[in-house]
Chain A
Amino acid sequence: MWAYLVRRTGEALLILLGISLVTFVLLYLVPADPARQIAGRSATVETVANIRAQLGLDQPFHIQYVRYLGNLLQGDLGRSYLQRSEVAELIAARMPATLLLMAAAIVVELILGLTIGIVAALKRNTAVDQSLMVFSFVTISAPQFVVGILLLYVFAVRLHWFPIGGYGSFAHLVLPAITIGLLGTGWYSRMMRSSMIDVLAQDYVRTARAKGLGRLRIILRHVVPNAVLPIIAMIGIDIGLFMSGIVVVESVFGWPGIGQLAWQAIQRVDIPIIMGVTLVSACFIVLGNLVADLIAPLVDPRIKLK
């Protein structure tokens, strides 16, 4: 167990190093000039050059990257070019909002996705099944900003059930959580459906019936716990999808999380923030996968961590 954790943590660090390098290269190649952005349109060439030198942007690539890594090791993500504060502080301040949104979205997609999947499998090849699968297909294919705006229009503007945007109460959380959660709902319902159909055909389900057990007990005790196993591994991978989703959804709903922070930084080529948010997101994805792998043996006794 400990050997496993140490090995996985080592692997995670390598992954993060790779991601930092790729992101750094991409930002280095971006044609926009951060110094020019900071200086403003009317600044002279000297001012821009000064700013560039001050930020170390005139140094060769490898020196910039090594310096960034050195700072990173000390927990220093750098300073924002424009907001004049530490990136780490900016991200830390916005993290709770994003984590809350993510947790709520996971709850939404698990509740909706698993329920739809279970019902569709039990009613397979009926009208119920087909309509549920059409619904899940729509949620997979609809772009999140469209879903978000649609939900806003119907439930906030028209029906006044929820606030139009902002942060602070449960009511604020509902619409953005559903917007992000719907995408996962589509995937999970389809996976759960096929997983359920697989499990329903297993010999041990026949054994459960031969024992004279009731239908509800067979489904809840024998079928669902087995059917849900492949989904657990999916949740870890899913965090990557969330991270891309929150950039859009937080902007649509004015949700003060790191997605919004990233969105603003991208528009202004605020490289330290973009780097910081990318690395933190990568950390989450890596961590999410690790947690999913650690949970797996608790749910499936056949899995042993080695």
Chain B
Amino acid sequence: MTAATAETGRGDAPRPVLSVRDLTVAVATPGGAQPVVEDLSFDLIAGETLCLAGESGSGKSMTALAIMGLLPQPTARIAQGSIRLADGTELAGLSDRALRKIRANRISMIFQEPMTSLNPVLTIGTQLTEVLLEHGACSRAEAPGRALDLLRDVRITDAARRLKQYPHELSGGMRQRVMIAIALACDPEILIADEPTTALDVTVQAEILDLIRTLQREHGTTVLMITHDMGVVAEMADRVIVLRHGRQEETAPVHQLFAAPRTAYARELLAAVPRLGHAPARPVPERLPDVVDVEGLTVRYPIRGGIANRVQAQVHAVENVDFRIAPGETLALVGESGCGKSTIGKALLGLAPWTGSIRIAGQQMQGLSPKGLKPVRRNIQMIFQDPGASLDARMTVGRQVGEPLVVHGQARGSELQDRIEWLFRRVGLTPEQIDRYPHEFSGGQRQRICIARALALRPRVIVADECVSALDVSIQAQVLDLLRELQQEEGLAYLFISHDMAVIDQVADRVAVMNLGQIVETGSREQVLRTPMHPYTRRLLSAVPIPDPNHVRPAVLARDGEVGSPVRPLGQHPVRLEMDEVAPGHWVARSDAAARSAA
């Protein structure tokens, strides 16, 4: 509540632990220095959580790096302004030697990618004690004991063993806990958290956010949190600064911002955020014969070893999955990373080795030769997560969109040109853009190009694998609108793979929840998202951050037993889940406990 009093100016004068005034950060470009942060001013009040929120390119990370003195050298620099600590220390223009005494000691930072933020060749223990010794927080003899205490502080299980482990032996969530332990080792006044949970699964995200809140309470740390996720903002912030193109759009206490945003941009940003449970009802598509019919789909990858390099174990990526999709219908596959949802998409396109039965538009794909598959493949196309990486940087976008037509011998010459132009218009681009290269387009435009490429062969099914996850919310909404429009006009069937429950709520007719390669619950969107029955579905839904500061999220439901592994020794197969129909079309796997009591 410190923050709220600070904003209204009542009570004791708030004590800023950090004051930023007229901060401008410039980045060198071929066309001269470009400001990425402009005239940014704010105070960070002791004990509060201040969120810097904004879309990509808003300058939020640059602000954090400027405070830490970690701007990428030599391209970026503080062009003007001041960053002052409570004791008057000016950080802008401070020498690296002096900044080193501030870093980790008074201001700490945790980063977006826990997978790459720890050194792979040093043990967790070394990486923890290093920071303690550097700042003279304890003696060499005390260091291992202190490191152990720090790991226990961040609630890592089996802390003593972790000290001797290497980062790759830990999960993403555990690594982020280690990062937090490192950041809090010297008890800094300020913790800067730059998208600390963006790369994590939603249940892990909830745990990490809980941890940051708890530690903040225990240590009295002030938190500057950087995020693009308005759900996280609502859950964590006392005050929010909305940034856009490096400029401060709006600064407000979190309740005020969500209840009555003052600026048009903040209103737009909040309106674009997909909200779980607020999606408009979708017309029930006319029930036509299924265009996708999958039965007993199984994908296993071998793990080899031993003297003869024989298969010793298998990764059971997908086990015995059945589903159907009708024309004009969207089936959403949801689950956490490693659950096998993307593998199903790949199997449908013949990009993963599979067994079972896949019928696309009535044609069985099992047993077809690569040549025989070619005509079937025309009916099913894919859109990927990263539009930048799924376009060839050295080929014009027009050629890439036309390539499927050429490969399948569908069009050439002027007809090909006409088809490409038509496709560009179809996805909201102009024919003048045909001869450009991918780098000349924004992320949203590139995803439109990918959609145009997927549409080129007039497929009946499109697999969209996390196709909006890399996009900002406003762009996300536009791409989802385009997909919906195409579906209504062309009767496309979508297999929509995503980890984001709110997005799924927007687009899905039916939802299938996956865990460890199997479907644990499937049904209509209302059935699965509003009345989830399986413990895993409930756990997933309970972890989703809600973009409403008045919403108090219940503690994340505990895991139902141990986290399983999809890797099993040869010959040992996972237990096949039994599904019960709890309501018409709503199938739920018997949970372990139920299965045990039934047995």
Interface positions of A (Cβ within 8 A of B): 3, 6-7, 10, 202-204, 206-215, 217, 221-222, 225-226, 229, 299-302, 306
Contacts and interface: CB of A to CB of B under 8 A. Distances in A.
Contact of A213 (B102, B109, B130, B309): B130
A211 B134 contact: yes
Contacts of A299: 121
Given A6-B307, A202-B116, A226-B121, A302 B168 contact: yes
B307 A212 contact: no
A300 B130 CA distance: 19
Contacts of B105: 212
Given A7-B309, A306-B305, A210 B116 contact: no
B269 interface: no
B113 A203 contact: yes
The 6 closest A-B pairs by CB, nearest first: A212-B103, A203-B116, A306-B305, A301-B166, A212-B100, A204-B119
A6 B306 CA distance: 9
B286 to A, nearest CB: 50
B6 interface: no
A301 B121 contact: yes
Interface in B108-138: 108-109, 111, 113, 116-122, 130-131, 134-135
A222 B126 CA distance: 11
A7 B120 CA distance: 28
Contacts of A206: 70, 111, 117
A302 B169 CA distance: 8
Interface core residue of A3, A204, A214 (most chain B CB under 10 Å): A204
Contacts of A214: 100, 134
A204 B131 contact: no
User: Which one of A217, A221, A299 has the greatest number of beta carbons of chain B within 10 Å?
Assistant: A221
A301 B100 CA distance: 29
A203 B111 contact: yes
B116 A212 contact: no
10 contacts: A203-B117, A204-B120, A212-B104, A213-B100, A214-B134, A217-B134, A225-B122, A226-B120, A229-B121, A299-B121
A14 B168 CA distance: 35
Contacts of A202: 116
B121 A300 contact: yes
Given A3-B305, A3-B307, A301-B166, A212 B121 contact: no
A204 B96 CA distance: 18
Interface of B: 68, 70, 96, 99-105, 108-109, 111, 113, 116-122, 130-131, 134-135, 166, 168, 179, 182-183, 304-309
Contacts of B113: 203
B596 to A, nearest CB: 35
Contacts of B68: 210
Contacts of B121: 225-226, 229, 299-301
A206 B68 CA distance: 11
Contacts of A203: 111, 113, 116-117
Which one of B117, B166, B304, B308 has the greatest number of beta carbons of chain A within 10 Å? B117
From B102, B134, B135, B179, name the one whose CB has the most chain A CB atoms within 10 angstroms: B134
B117 to A, nearest CB: 5
Nearest to B115: A203
Nearest to B128: A211
A209 to B, nearest CB: 6
Contacts of B305: 3, 306
Nearest to A300: B121
Nearest to B108: A210
A210 B304 contact: no
Contact of B103 (A204, A210, A215): A210
A130 B120 CA distance: 31
B234 to A, nearest CB: 27
Nearest to B101: A212
Contact of B307 (A7, A209, A215): A7
A10 B309 CA distance: 12
B120 A300 contact: yes
Nearest to A229: B121
Nearest to A228: B121
A195 to B, nearest CB: 13
Nearest to B186: A212
A212 B109 contact: no
A204 B166 contact: no
B578 to A, nearest CB: 36
Contacts of B183: 210
B255 to A, nearest CB: 32
B307 A208 contact: no
Contacts of A10: 307
A184 B171 CA distance: 39
B354 to A, nearest CB: 25
Nearest to A226: B121
Nearest to A10: B307
Contacts of A7: 306-309
Given A212-B101, A212-B135, A207 B119 contact: yes
B119 A208 contact: yes
Given A7-B309, A210-B104, A212-B101, A302 B120 contact: yes
Q: Which of A3, A206, A212, A214: most chain B CB closer than 10 A? A: A212
Nearest to A206: B70
B306 A3 contact: yes
B143 to A, nearest CB: 14
A210 B109 contact: yes
A143 to B, nearest CB: 37
A116 to B, nearest CB: 22
A51 B193 CA distance: 84
A301 B104 contact: no
A204 B100 contact: no
A202 to B, nearest CB: 7
A124 to B, nearest CB: 11
Contacts of B100: 212-214
A211 B304 CA distance: 40
A225 B130 CA distance: 16
B118 A204 contact: yes
A306 B308 CA distance: 11
A179 to B, nearest CB: 34
A126 to B, nearest CB: 12
Which of B105, B119, B122, B130: most chain A CB closer than 10 A?
B119
A295 B111 CA distance: 32
B94 to A, nearest CB: 13
Contacts of B166: 301-302
A299 B119 CA distance: 13
B119 A226 contact: yes
Given A206-B70, A207-B179, A213 B134 contact: yes
Contact of B131 (A212, A215, A301, A302): A212
A215 B96 CA distance: 9
A208 B183 CA distance: 11
Given A7-B308, A207-B179, A212-B135, A222 B104 contact: no
A229 B135 CA distance: 30
A7 B304 CA distance: 13
Contacts of B70: 206, 209-210
Contacts of B111: 203, 206-207
A302 B118 CA distance: 13
A217 to B, nearest CB: 8
A212 B121 CA distance: 19
A229 B119 CA distance: 13
